[in-house]
Structure 1
Amino acid sequence: MVMKIVEIRESTRPIKSDIRNAYIDFSKMTLSLVAVVTDVIRDGKPVVGYGFNSNGRYGQGALMRERFIPRALEAKPDTLLDDRGVLCPHKVWETMMRNEKPGGHGERSVAIGTIDMAVWDAVAKIEEKPLHQMLAERYGNGKADPKVFVYAAGGYYYPGKDLDGLKSEMLSYLDRGYSVVKMKIGGASLAEDCTRIESVLKLLGPGQRLAVDANGRFDLKTAIAYAKALSPYNLFWYEEAGDPLDYTLQAELANHYQNPMATGENLFSMQDARNLIRHGGMRKDRDWLQFDCALSYGLVEYLRTLEMLKEYGWSATRCIPHGGHQMSLAIAAGLGLGGNESYPDLFQPYGGFPDGVKVQNGYVTLPSLVGIGFEGKADLYAEMSALSR
């Protein structure tokens, strides 16, 4: 009997919130939740892999239903298997991308990335291994490091939120064990943002740092003005100052800001990531790369991106993905990334860690749960199991 995918289910779910960054508000934000059901039986039940896309990009159900799910389900089952007869994420990916032209890396990359996450979850469950261990064995040095650096992302603009509210939020992250916290900039004046930054910096103790994120809001003149104002603060990083595809702006900004910068969360292919490395002036000794597999065609493409980075002399440790989800945590633990974003209070139940996992001195240690580990987070698994039931 040939192993096969029996069904792929998707559902659009709300993750709405009144928060906003410098560019968008999240009042109507959605995501796609996906279940890949296989005919493999474990403990009397079919093995099901789950996936969802990161916040900031809307659910992609229409693209999945019209193109990508039918291609995967209509393929001959044996064409989706590896040499051992096990479901192969790379072949599933190639099948979903048939008849797609190069380029156009927009919403398509989110649809594919979401399904890809679910496929990897299923495959690791079939192998009866944590995904981070399976990745280390297949693509890494053979040994995963389940201890992963995480930082707390927040500091959004919110109606009625004053400096006291911002400080209270950041203190709550520090009290929960985070050593690096991040806040939004660019949604207020430069003077007001500097006041907000200085209020948070006063809270930080030894070894604690602040990162700031402009969400691509600035033109070059404004980005440089912020760079000059931010330089004395010794920030963990200055993130996504300008449009993510404006590599000239990013390269010029490096001439005006010597401290670490970060970008990449809105680049959705290996080719776009390569253009950033070629033309964006990013510095491999200090800057950070935030490519998010859930938004950029999934882990299959992320592996290509990591190989490209290696060719250009970049270490995987300079990658700290956007998104705050357990898939990137597994990749970080299995392939030696520099860490992962975390949303302690936002976009629940999709962000965060398995129940009982605590942040200690800025790190979490992943438990030995098979697959990505979604089953270890009760509120999230309730949503997922309802979809596949």
Structure 2
Amino acid sequence: MRIVDIREVTLPISSPIRNAYIDFSKMTLSLVAIVSDVIRDGKPVVGYGFNSNGRYGQGSLMRERFIPRLLEASPESLQDSTGNNLCPHKCWATMFSNEKPGGHGERSVAIGTLDMAIWDLVAKIEGVPLFQLLADRYGNGKPDPKIFVYAAGGYYYPGQNHNQLKDEMRSYIDRGYTVVKKKIGGASLDEDLRRIDSILSVLQDGQKLAVDANGRFDLDTAIQYAKALSQYDLFWFEEPGDPLDFELQATLRGYYSKPMATGEDLFSMQDARNLIRYGGLRPDRDWLQFDCALSYGLVEYLRTLDMLKEHGWSAKRCIPHGGHQMSLNIAAGLELGGNESYPDLFQPFGGFPDGVKVDNGFITLPELPGIGFEGKSDLFAQMQKLAG
């Protein structure tokens, strides 16, 4: 088999929301389609991918470097041993050819987006859900399609008052979530604490709140928040400081004994390894949020999981950022701890296939070939436009 064409379009996912660091009024993403020469039901099999929110679309990088490398490679150099499918690892090596190590910035997003489409295509050609393919190749052959998900929300909206914030969180609980998340660091400490108290007032037994500073704090401010947040039983305190400030993260464990989370803004196995080596994280309680769509894709994520195992970490401590179906498949196939979810934001790219409901904090993935994008009608409508 061979790749016939690769198409990319940059789309807006703008929203008036903001976190402690950025607003999303001009946010974009890249949607890609990889068209193969494999024909099913009279149509070519197509793999789709897109990047997660929080990083902009990377169409220029794809068109200038990574798409040409795939299209110019000999078909045989990208195939698996059967010649009937792609080998994602060979495709990844082709995309990364002539690239220097280090500096894992926007190119990790470009490659991660294409990598998602490659895995979608590979699983579709095999005729199985991606989570089953991953369990067969890299796991124990027995995926668990029942996955924990939490509701990411609590952004700073223009003019939103505390009653509206409580209504937002009630809506997530009413939809079956047991863990909700809010942003901190975009207001004063006192105001953030008042917002936390408002949310906690609507949560019941067994329901928890996570908070996310989006890397906003210097060490002194992070310590102030850690001391103040210690009074609560939070699900986690996320990304208090700059994602590459491992010393800040390590220092903070002396002021905050409860679960912390970080990693969504680390875009390579090497950066993830430095976090594990020097960030002072505790494998018995802390959480890792690496997002394959931003960090060179699943090929790199597999390397990261191998590294974690070598350092005594369980894959169940990974709950990826991004809220997309790719990470849901990885969670089901490779036994991660769950996945982020955006019930109302960044649509149609986030969320679950149609008909999938949250039940007591968990969803169950249906048996759809590939990543399952075709099961989400509003998303697949966008994808079909690109595939032609």
TM interval, shorter chain, is: over 0.9
Query: Equivalent residue for 2:27?
Result: 29
Structure 2 residue 96 is matched with structure 1 residue 126: no
| 3-state DSSP of counterpart to 1:313 | coil
CA distance in 2, matches of 1:90, 1:115: 12
**Alpha-carbon distance, 1:232 to partner:** 1.1
Task: Report matched runs for 1:73-84 at 5 Å.
Answer: 73-84=71-82
| 3-state DSSP of counterpart to 1:256 | coil
**Alpha-carbon distance, 1:205 to partner:** 0.7
CA distance in 1, matches of 2:205, 2:38: 51
Structure 2 residue 213 is matched with structure 1 residue 222: no
Task: Report matched runs for 1:44-55 at 5 Å.
Answer: 44-55=42-53
Structure 2 residue 4 is matched with structure 1 residue 11: no
Q: Deviations over 1:143-190 (max 9, x none)?
A: 100000000000000101010111000000000000000000000000
| 3-state DSSP of counterpart to 1:232 | coil
Task: Report matched runs for 1:171-186 at 5 Å.
Answer: 171-186=170-185
Q: Deviations over 1:72-121 (max 9, x none)?
A: 00000000011121211110000000000000100000000000000000
Query: Equivalent residue for 1:154?
Result: 153
Query: Equivalent residue for 2:243?
Result: 244
Query: Equivalent residue for 1:338?
Result: 337
Structure 2 residue 53 is matched with structure 1 residue 59: no
Which amino acid letter does the alignment assign opposite residue 331 of structure 2?
A
Query: Equivalent residue for 2:314?
Result: 315
**Alpha-carbon distance, 1:344 to partner:** 0.1
CA distance in 2, matches of 1:42, 1:364: 30
The runs of 4+ residues in structure 1 deviating greater than 6 Å are none
**130-139 or 82-91: bigger deviation:** 82-91
CA distance in 2, matches of 1:314, 1:84: 34
Query: Equivalent residue for 1:302?
Result: 301
Query: Equivalent residue for 1:348?
Result: 347
| 3-state DSSP of counterpart to 1:65 | helix
Task: Report matched runs for 1:366-381 at 5 Å.
Answer: 366-381=365-380
Which amino acid letter does the alignment assign opposite residue 174 of structure 1?
I
| 3-state DSSP of counterpart to 2:82 | coil
| 3-state DSSP of counterpart to 1:212 | strand
Structure 2 residue 196 is matched with structure 1 residue 194: no
CA distance in 2, matches of 1:21, 1:169: 16
Query: Equivalent residue for 2:253?
Result: 254
CA distance in 2, matches of 1:104, 1:384: 31
Q: Deviations over 1:16-60 (max 9, x none)?
A: 000000000000000000000000111111000000000000000
CA distance in 2, matches of 1:314, 1:304: 13
CA distance in 2, matches of 1:43, 1:92: 26
Query: Equivalent residue for 1:43?
Result: 41
| 3-state DSSP of counterpart to 1:233 | coil
CA distance in 2, matches of 1:226, 1:234: 14
CA distance in 2, matches of 1:26, 1:67: 27
CA distance in 2, matches of 1:328, 1:21: 23
CA distance in 2, matches of 1:31, 1:257: 35
Which amino acid letter does the alignment assign opposite residue 237 of structure 1?
W
Which amino acid letter does the alignment assign opposite residue 171 of structure 1?
R
CA distance in 1, matches of 2:73, 2:31: 22
Query: Equivalent residue for 2:289?
Result: 290
CA distance in 1, matches of 2:59, 2:315: 32
CA distance in 1, matches of 2:70, 2:122: 15
Q: Deviations over 1:243-289 (max 9, x none)?
A: 00000000000111000000000000000000000000000000000
Report the TM-score when normalising by structure 1. 0.99
CA distance in 1, matches of 2:129, 2:30: 23
Structure 1: state its 5+ residue gaps: none
Query: Equivalent residue for 1:275?
Result: 274
Which amino acid letter does the alignment assign opposite residue 230 of structure 1?
L
Which amino acid letter does the alignment assign opposite residue 250 of structure 1?
Q
Which amino acid letter does the alignment assign opposite residue 355 of structure 2?
G
Number of residue pairs matched? 387
Which amino acid letter does the alignment assign opposite residue 250 of structure 2?
A
| 3-state DSSP of counterpart to 1:172 | helix
Structure 2 residue 233 is matched with structure 1 residue 234: yes
Which amino acid letter does the alignment assign opposite residue 270 of structure 1?
M
